[in-house]
Amino acid sequence: MATPTRKVAVIVGSLRKNSYSSFLARAFTEVAPESLTFQNLEIGDLPFYNEDLETSTPPESWTRLREQIKASDALLFVTPEYNRSIPGVLANAIDVGSRPYGHNAWDKKPGAVISSSISSLGGFGANHHLRQSLVFVNVPTMQQPELYIPNTPERFDNDGNLIDASTRTMLKDAAQAFASWIDRACLR
Ligand code: FNR
Residue 68 has pLDDT above 80, yes or no: yes
Give the type of residue at 188.
Answer: R
Please list the residues that pair with 79 across neighbouring strands: 115
Average pLDDT value over all residues in the chain? 97
Q: Which residue has the higher pLDDT, 157 or 186?
A: 157
DSSP state of 85: B
pLDDT at 61 over 90: yes
Cis peptide before 145 (omega within 30 of 0): yes
- DSSP classification of residue 138: T
Position 187 scores a pLDDT of: 66
Task: Report yes or no: 112 and 77 within 8 Å, Cβ to Cβ.
Answer: yes
Under 8 Å CB-to-CB from 17, ≥6 apart: which residues?
A: none
Angle between helices 88-98 and 124-136 in degrees, nearest 10: 10
State residue 186's pLDDT score.
77
Q: Which residues line ligand 1 (CB under 6 A)?
A: 14, 16, 19-21, 80-84, 117-119, 121, 123
Q: How many residues does the chain have?
A: 188
Pair 79, 152: CB distance under 8 Å = no
Q: Which residue of 14, 22, 113, 117 sits with most ligand 1 atoms within 8 Å of its CB, as the best mutation to test the pocket?
A: 117
Q: How many CB atoms lie within 10 A of CB 66?
A: 20
pTM assigned to the model: 0.97
Residue type, 160: G
